Amino acid sequence: MEIVNKRVLVIGLGLSGISTIKTLSSLKADVYCYDDKDESELQNVFEKLEKFNYKFIKNYKDYYFDFIVKSPGIKPTNEIIEYFYNKKVPIYTDLELAYTLFPERKIIAITGTNGKTTTTSLVGEIFKTANIKSKVVGNIGVGMLWEIFNSDKETVNIIEVSSFQLHNIEKFKPFIASIGNITPDHIDWHGSFENYIEDKLKIFKNMDKNGNLILNIDDEILNKINVENTNVTTISLKNKKADFYLSENNFYHNDKRLFSMKDLKILGRHNAQNVLISLAICYNYGIIIDTIIFACKNFGGVEHRIEFIRELNGIKFYNDSKGTNVDSTIKAIEALEKPIILIVGGYDKNVDFNPLFESFNGKVKTLILVGDTKYKFYDSAKKNGFENNIIVNDYREVVEKCFEIAENGDNVLLSPASASWDMFKSYEERGNLFKKLVNEL
């Protein structure tokens, strides 16, 4: 893509927007940016961009633009996006633009409803252990475009990819990709579960026989899809016909035992799936199996995912703020021993909460409800016969109430099954506040 002097509008001044402005400005594009916040609220952003050429505007209808780059989280139904869509102005997210600007870069793309952050981090750790030049970028909290711009052709870019980013792709083509699972999530954004599935599966739409797609065949949706355009490596927690599988808590590749789940530092059966995907990705890249095994055994997990905070008076506190959907919270419950005091609630993504209660199996003794979805959770709990529900107003009250009612041997688990955007900017901010308050007890 020819970029010099192209007039570009970057919509949204979050992490991806800042990264995009830096990159496009460095490539000599004529960069404009828009955010629905006032300039007075964006001074910290402007400070980060003071060395780059761009113009902040509010009157976007007064300009012609060659293309738009929107923050991935902005909905397709947003009035600005619809305005430029109707004018047939090309609309990109950072993922599509990264491939369009730097098609020669090596990209490993990792998606799925749950587990992609842990998988991305583990793959990055394996590449680091193997002394392969690589970067972990994308939806994991690092501005993708700027990082890829500052890498070279030898660097492997390991990208956590969201359904928001995949929605707008046309040419994006990773050379290795994985889909861990697909369960209902972000229905408010995509409009329907069918649309969400369609966007997730776009990750491999441009791949060819030079690439490799890793699929979890335990997932009902993924087990039924027909992939003809690229090579497929399968993983499973129960099917020994898969290329990489788990049997009696041991990891196997083509019936050869590799190591045991007891060798891992990370908790939960769901993490076995993340390990299997990481094994398949790195094996397909060509990393020797002994190096992969060593890195897996020494991987300590990621922040905000079933993260142990402290033990006080025999009560253990865990931060699973990244549990932003029902399936993720179910996996966190499965990973811990009973009894559990579970903290749920947050921004409403219009999903069904009933499967959460079906997973309790006597392990959850009390629900602490907070955030926009607290009353929706309360109604769902009552409907499912769960009566021990406590509604609170903020996170200080969350922690104080948990400590008040918890007994020796209890596990207090923050795993909201909801996004953080009702009270926080991100799940990281939510998790950090929870940890701070717990450590102040």
> What residues are designated binding site for ATP?
112-118
Kindly provide the b/e burial profile for residues 333-352, where b requires at least 16 CB atoms within 10 angstroms of the residue's own CB. bebbeeebbbbbbbbbbebe
Q: How far apart are CA 309 and CA 268, in angstroms?
A: 17
State the alpha helices, DSSP H only, in 68-192. 79-86, 94-101, 116-129, 144-149, 163-167, 187-190
Beta strand 67-70 with 91-92 is parallel
Helix axes 94-101 and 15-26, enclosed angle (nearest 10): 20
DSSP 311-380: EETTEEEEE-TT--SHHHHHHHHHHSPSPEEEEE--B------HHHHHT-TT-EEEEEE-STTHHHHHHH
User: How far is Cα 425 from Cα 403, in angstroms, rounded to an integer?
Assistant: 26
DSSP string, 201-247: GGGGTT--TTSEEEEETTSHHHHH----SSEEEEEESS-TTSSEEEE
**Which among 361, 318, 358 has a CA at the least distance from the CA of 342?**
318
Binding-site annotation, residues? 112-118
Q: How far apart are CA 98 and CA 404, in angstroms?
A: 50
Coil, strand or helix at 119: helix
Q: How far apart are CA 72 and CA 278, in angstroms?
A: 25
Cis bond before residue 339 (omega within 30° of 0): yes
Note the Cα 236 to chain centre separation in Å: 21
Which DSSP symbol is given to 142?
Answer: B
Give the C-alpha separation, 313 to 409, whole Å. 9
DSSP tag of 40: G
CA-based nearest residue to 15, from 91, 54, 72: 72
- Counting Cα atoms < 13 Å in the Cβ hemisphere of 33 gives 27
